[in-house]
Amino acid sequence: NAGVTQTPKFQVLKTGQSMTLQCAQDMNHNSMYWYRQDPGMGLRLIYYSASEGTTDKGEVPNGYNVSRLNKREFSLRLESAAPSQTSVYFCASTLGTGAEAFFGQGTRLTVV
């Protein structure tokens, strides 16, 4: 029972490089989310997909793009990485509004 799977677990990028963080869930959830977690702060929503075929900006979307590839997969892309994007990124999924949220293991990204 995998739940929410994120890849990679760790990544180091140089400023200006691009990369895509992958997320997949096997719980048949409708909604998926990308958050970032910075020291001393609560998780902040970057983008979300309320249902397959839709995506919307969250609290801190600048510098990111997302793709809801199908019901299972939701990817986050950094087109031109900046040091300010050094963070731990979490993908989450829920069956619907008000439902329990399940999180992946996180991706620790460092931009130098």
Partner 1 sequence: KNQVEQSPQSLIILEGKNCTLQCNYTVSPFSNLRWYKQDTGRGPVSLTIMTFSENTKSNGRYTATLDADTKQSSLHITASQLSDSASYICVVGARGGGYNKLIFGAGTRLAVHP
Part of the chain binding partner 1 (CB under 8 A), chosen from 18-26, 44-52, 70-78, 79-87 = 44-52
Stretch that binds partner 1, among 11-19, 60-68, 69-77, 102-110 (CB under 8 A): 102-110
The answer to whether 90 and 35 have CB atoms below 8 angstroms apart is yes
First to last CA, the chain: 36
Which ranges constitute the DSSP H helices of the chain?
none
Task: State which of residues 4, 13, 24, 78 lies at the interface with partner 1 (CB under 8 A).
Answer: 4
Per rule CB under 8 A, is residue 61 in the interface with partner 1? no
Task: Note whether 60 and 72 are within 8 A (CB).
Answer: no
Q: How far is CA 13 from CA 48, 52, 111, in A?
A: 24, 30, 5
State CA 84 to chain mean position distance: 16
The least CB distance from residue 80 to partner 1, in Å, is 27
Contacting partner 1 (CB under 8 A), which of 16, 26, 56, 57?
56
In the complex, the residues that contact partner 1 under the rule CB under 8 A are 4, 31, 33, 35, 40-45, 48, 50, 56, 90, 92, 94, 96-106
